Each structure stands twice: as C-alpha cells, then as structure tokens.
Structure 1
C-alpha cells in the first residue's frame, strides 16, 4: 500500500544534491525514490546519513543521464544494478528495482524490474522497506510505518527466507533492534535467528566486525547483547565466553563518566578476560592494528588496577598514557561489577582530568656526564633512573634528581663492575 502521509522536515528532498539526483532520474517514463534508512531516520527525526535511491531506470540509463548532466557515475555494483552518482562530492547509491531470480546467499542472481511493491518485499526489515518520492509522499508496502510507531523491528515476509538470503541479517536484526526497537526483540524474528545461527560461520570476518562494532555502541545494546547470549549467538562469533554482566557494567560506567560509547572498550568488557582473548578476537573479527593494540592493552593484567591508591594510579597513568589507563581501569571496574566502591572507581577513572603526568626530567646527558657511555648501557641506566624517579612520586626538586642520578649510576656500576 501507499500511505497518504507526506514526509515533512526533509529539506534534502526539495533542494541540494539528493533533490538533483531525483530530478535527474524522474521523468521520461522513469521514477526514482529515496529508500531505506534515510526515510526511516527522517521519520524518527534523527540524522539521515547516507541517502540511497531506487529507480525504475536500468543502470545504463542512469549512467547516460548522469553523463548528460555532467555528473560523475561509478559502477560500484553494476551486476546488482547499483551505480554511485557523485554530486558536489556527496555519493548516492542508485539501484535499479529488482527481483531476486535465484538466491545463493549474497550471490543472488537478479533481474531488473519496475514493480515498487516487489522491490520493497525483497528488503530485510519493514522499517527499511519504506520509500519517499520527490514530492515527499511516503510509500509503505510492508507495514513499516506501523512498526516505526511501535518501535518494532520485523523481517519482511518469512524471516527464515530473509536470513537464508544473507546470514548477516541475523546481526542486523539485533543491531536494528538495539538502535530502533523497544522491549524484547520480535519473537518470530528472534527464533528464526536462533535456528539459522550456524550460518554465521559462512560470513566474512570483515562483515561481522562491521555489524558487531555498530551493535555494541547502539542505544539499547545491553538488551540486544543479552538476547544474543541467551540464544547462543555470541559463541559462534567470539569463539569464547561472553560476559554480559561486565558488558552492562561497562555501559553504566561510560554513562556515569559522560563518555561517548566506545566499541572496543565495550568489546573488551564483553569478551576479554586475558590477553589471549584479545588476540583471538582480533583474528576472528579482523580488527585493525589500532583496535588490536587497544584490546590487548585492556586485557593485560587489568586486575592489578583494582583497589589502587592514588600514588599507584598516577604511576599507572604515567606508564600507560591517558587513553590506555582509562580503558584498562574501566575494564577492571566493569569486571568488579557492583562491589560497593563506585566512588573510588570513579575517582580513579577521572584521574587524567585532575592530574597530568610530568615528563621524566633526567636526560641522557646527566648520565654521560657521570661516566656512562652512549649505547645499550645508557638506555639501561635511564630506565633504572626512571623507575627510581617514579618511586619518589615524581620528585622534581634538583637535589632529589641529582641523588637519583648518582644512586642509579652507583648501582649500575656496582652490578656491572664497570
């Protein structure tokens, strides 16, 4: 069905690059509409993000019209009917209406069509099956408007069939529920995801990573992750134990500190107890080098940060740096749960805001002047002196620094009989 409603408060429909693309593709027997997430988000009055466009025009006609208008076109998914048009530096994926003739997971053989209802029915969720034309008229052929109003995420048609078409839809179901749903996940869809969980093994690590990291920072991630754990869906992804209690505690800690949701920090709380867990996850999810280092650092003896006094915490902060210190401290906090020490944990977590570590004031020249030759020995002496300096709680008085330098050289000379 088409709804009588008109999408208001969507200025991109009437002016700007998206409106230009719609104008380009409408007329002369063809129609174009904005589809999917942009329509959903506009109805929810949240940032639109990418704007995807569907059209009755075949790809060659899209490219012909773009060329005539001086618009760059890129055949990003030409076999599936997708051409990317770039207007004023903004990309728009333009996809010809289609029918899946045969389905082999993501390798469906497609045929182009002109039926908006059939095209809507082959999409994943009802809230993503809406479209809006250039005049702002909403078209709902799958019940998406009612589900948006009810904050309900449902598969279009038969959930088992939708999932078999692409097993990534299992993860998307929970991510969409965490972002746009309310209460328990749709029961029919949830059970279909559990039945199809073996299919998760067929997905590439890169696709799983992308969905999971988005899911972990969604507004209602805690409930969605708990539902996945209850349905046995996390073990095939992580290959290890999931700590849903620590995950919930990490979310609470982030919010209490006013921190932005961090996917890697939350992943650590959910699935990292030791550094071996971090390395396993890095491989299974194909994490970036930076993500891997952050996860590995959090997993490294995080339990040693529990119950620290401030002097010890300052030394940890100095050694780890602000980001690594806070992340590892928060993992320890999340693992501790509700241990009655909220005020103490918060005090430790906010230390970087109250205190900035000074730079180690002694230099190589201080030890060369005391007879230490350049080379490995000098590096060793500097490391020993830094340890001694930390033990003094960051002394900066010249007399104290001279004593540290003298005592370090004496110790090194004695131990190495130079």
Structure 2
C-alpha cells in the first residue's frame, strides 16, 4: 500500500457538506473516506464531480448517526449497503465496505466488512480504486496512483472476471481511456473486452446509450472508437457499418468552427449514411425522441448540400432551422472527406456554408392567411395549400420583404391556384 497527500485542491475535505459527512461518520471505532472518481479527479486537477463515501459503519449505524445530527437519510440501495445523506441540499451516497460473494452481472450478493483492501479490489479500474481520508491522505491498494501518473486505464485484478461481473465495463473501459487515458488502451484489458464482447447483448439499450454518448464527446473519442471498431465491438452495438473516417472529419470540423462537441452529431458521422441507418441506431440505442429526430434529419439527403449557391443554402437554412442545417451540412462535409486545408476550394466551400447562420438570419414568412382571404380564398384546406405555394414562391424570390413584391407574390399565387383548380 502506498500513501500520498492530496494536492491542495480539495477544499471540500476541509469544510462544507462533504467534510460534515466525514466528521459524522468518523470516530467511535468507525472510519469513512471519499472513494472513486472524486479522488481520481483531484489527483488529475479536474473538478471532483459527485463525492461518494465509503464507511466501515453498517447502514443502520449510518442512519442512526444521521438522525441524531438532523441529517436526512434515504435508503437508496440498502441491500447493497448504500444510503444517501442529504446535507445542505447536496446528496452523498454512503456505502458500507463490502465484498462480492456471488456476482450475476449487476445483481451481486455482497457481504459487509471492514477491510479497505478487499473493498478496493472489488472495484472496476485501478484509477477508480483510490480513497482519501478526512486528513487528505490518499490510500492506494491497487496501483491506481502509478496508473494515474501514466494516464493508463487498467482493470483491477483479473480483467475477464471484472467484465463478467458487469459487461458494461467493456464500454466503461473505452470511455475511461477516452477521458483519462493516453495512447493505445491497455493490451490485457483490450483483449479481455474482445473476449467478453458477446456479453454486450445482455445490456439494456439505455445503459449502452449513456456510455456511447459520453464516449462521443470525450477528448480521446476517436482513439477509443477506432479501437472499438478494430475489436469488433461497434458492429455488436450498432448492428451495421460504422465510419471512423467521417467521425474523425466531424471532430476536425467542429474544432475548426469552434463548436461545442455534439454527441449526436458525432454519432451521426460514425453510424449514419442514410435515414435507414438513423432509424436503426435510434432503435438499438433507444435514443430520446429529440436525439432520434436529429439523427434522422442528418441522414436525410445530406449529399444534396454538396453543390449549393448562396440562395439555395439560405433556403435550406430557412427550411431546416439553424441546428438541423448545421448538423446536416457538417455530415456532408465529413462524408466528403472533411479536408481542413482551406487552400482547398472544397474546404473553403464547406466552411463558408457552415458559417452561414452567423452571417444571415432567416426572416419570418411575412404573408398571412388574411392576405389570401382578402383575395377570395376560403378558410380550410385550400387556404393552407395557398399559403404553402406562396411561401415556396417567396423563397424562390430570395425572401423579399417590400410590400410591392409581397403583393405580387400573393396575387400570382392566387391566380395560379385558381387556374389549377378552376375556381
């Protein structure tokens, strides 16, 4: 076991809700520490996120102390030794030290204990197996400190066993590498993921969706996804062809344009060539309605954006709206090769039209139903049809807003409709 003082970027250990919980659970023969991701993040000088706490105290003792201190205690996972304490509106999961006696995926039988080493050894990755006490001392029983220094993600103990305990750990392995790792994934862990990939079929679509969307926006997303593709994992997840080249081009385009990484946009570049792909991916990952709609829009005839003039681009921006226009255009750019060399005319073309929403805002269609009722069109389906024809004519005329042009469009639309329907 090695120990090292945490850097001075952990004020939450000295004061505030977390310090109060630790003080509550320490003493009278019991010990509590912050465990997992918060410790890892503190050592990497990034925000800690949620603070999870482990304790030698049994759940009943945790609840007794909380009640005595006037702290709300919720039995959120009592069968696994977890209760949630709420201090100053901040929730803390507090879990009694434990070890798995039998594992069935996520349904494990556990025994409570007082052994910090055994508790650390049952966790997933070495960088998540660290704990820090109230004095700021980091306790490492699994080699996590060395792996954090090397930016290396390794399973604790036998990688195949850790995966068999919960097959979601395959996806978590690649996500952790994408967020915290440097270079190629650990070979032992990588081979274990390949060996266990059939287990992905046992996971719920919701859990897979959550991990995949997190991978999409991680700093090392491309390295992780390429490794997953080489391992045959993407076929198992998406049930179809994937395209790491367009995903690489999408990431580059986002960076060139200064856009916030979008998980759905990157997912589209990776998995969508036509709308049928979008529907399949949305179903397999059980995407939200908004995510599915965005993915479907990206795949809808994106290739038609490869040869536009300014007027046509404006019409498409008007029809699609800013977000869908940009996402579809970026997919077209990515699937065209995604060149970032702006001496290249094609790259200049894509950048010009990708930035159109910053240079031009589509006006609202100015003609109203009253304009056509005044011209003799009765309310009902015919009126809706006339409004659609007028809007098309207004777009074709490049969005005029002056009254003479609008009156001419209204008159011509009514005349055309009347002629075509012999009214």
TM-score of Structure 1 vs Structure 2, range by shorter chain: over 0.9
Aligned twin of 1:367: 372
Aligned partner of 1:345 among 350, 362, 375: 350
Aligned twin of 1:141: 141
Q: CA deviation at 1:7?
A: 3.9
| Secondary structure at 1:108 match in 2 | strand
- Counterparts of 1:152-301 in structure 2, within 5 Å, are 152-301=152-301
**Cα separation, 1, equivalents of 2:301 and 2:101:** 54
| Secondary structure at 2:418 match in 1 | helix
**Cα separation, 1, equivalents of 2:57 and 2:2:** 21
| Secondary structure at 2:30 match in 1 | coil
Preserved CA contact (<8 Å) 2:278 2:292: yes
| Secondary structure at 2:387 match in 1 | helix
Aligned partner of 2:390 among 363, 385, 409: 385
Preserved CA contact (<8 Å) 2:6 2:42: no
Q: CA deviation at 1:168?
A: 0.3
**Cα separation, 1, equivalents of 2:211 and 2:338:** 30
Structure 1 runs of 4+ aligned residues shifted over 2 Å read 4-8
- Counterparts of 1:123-134 in structure 2, within 5 Å, are 123-134=123-134
Residues 60 and 408 (structure 1 numbering): CA distance in 2 closer, same or farther, change over 3 Å?
same
**Cα separation, 2, equivalents of 1:248 and 1:5:** 40
Preserved CA contact (<8 Å) 2:52 2:92: yes
Residues 388 and 4 (structure 1 numbering): CA distance in 2 closer, same or farther, change over 3 Å?
closer
More displaced, 239-248 or 301-310?
301-310
**Cα separation, 2, equivalents of 1:185 and 1:22:** 35
Give the TM-score of the pair, scaled to structure 1. Answer: 0.99
**Cα separation, 2, equivalents of 1:55 and 1:417:** 83
Q: CA deviation at 1:282?
A: 1.3
Give deviations 1:124-157, integer Å, cap 9, x for gaps: 0000001000000010001111000101000001
**Cα separation, 2, equivalents of 1:6 and 1:276:** 51
Q: CA deviation at 1:192?
A: 0.4
Q: CA deviation at 1:5?
A: 2.9
| Secondary structure at 2:9 match in 1 | coil
Preserved CA contact (<8 Å) 1:151 1:181: yes
Is the aligned partner of 1:416 residue 2:384? no
- Counterparts of 1:396-415 in structure 2, within 5 Å, are 396-415=401-420
Aligned twin of 2:313: 313
Give deviations 1:190-238, integer Å, cap 9, x for gaps: 0000010000000011111111110110001000000000000001111
**Cα separation, 2, equivalents of 1:338 and 1:260:** 18
Preserved CA contact (<8 Å) 1:7 1:132: no
More displaced, 375-384 or 301-310?
301-310
Structure 2, unaligned runs of 5 or more: none
Aligned twin of 2:31: 31
Q: CA deviation at 1:307?
A: 2.2
Structure 1, unaligned runs of 5 or more: none
Residues 395 and 194 (structure 1 numbering): CA distance in 2 closer, same or farther, change over 3 Å?
same
Preserved CA contact (<8 Å) 1:130 1:139: yes
| Secondary structure at 2:92 match in 1 | strand
Preserved CA contact (<8 Å) 1:7 1:138: no
- Counterparts of 1:319-330 in structure 2, within 5 Å, are 319-330=319-330
Give deviations 1:297-328, integer Å, cap 9, x for gaps: 11111111112111111000000111111111
Preserved CA contact (<8 Å) 1:7 1:137: no
| Secondary structure at 2:287 match in 1 | coil
Q: CA deviation at 1:338?
A: 3.8
Aligned twin of 2:52: 52
| Secondary structure at 2:46 match in 1 | coil
| Secondary structure at 1:84 match in 2 | strand
Give the TM-score of the pair, scaled to structure 2. Answer: 0.98
**Cα separation, 1, equivalents of 2:23 and 2:8:** 18
**Cα separation, 2, equivalents of 1:105 and 1:72:** 31
Q: CA deviation at 1:372?
A: 0.2
**Cα separation, 2, equivalents of 1:350 and 1:316:** 13
| Secondary structure at 1:234 match in 2 | helix
Give deviations 1:78-103, integer Å, cap 9, x for gaps: 11111111111111111111010111
Aligned twin of 1:111: 111
Residues 7 and 117 (structure 1 numbering): CA distance in 2 closer, same or farther, change over 3 Å?
farther
**Cα separation, 1, equivalents of 2:248 and 2:48:** 28
Residues 7 and 59 (structure 1 numbering): CA distance in 2 closer, same or farther, change over 3 Å?
farther
Preserved CA contact (<8 Å) 1:77 1:83: yes
Q: CA deviation at 1:69?
A: 1.0
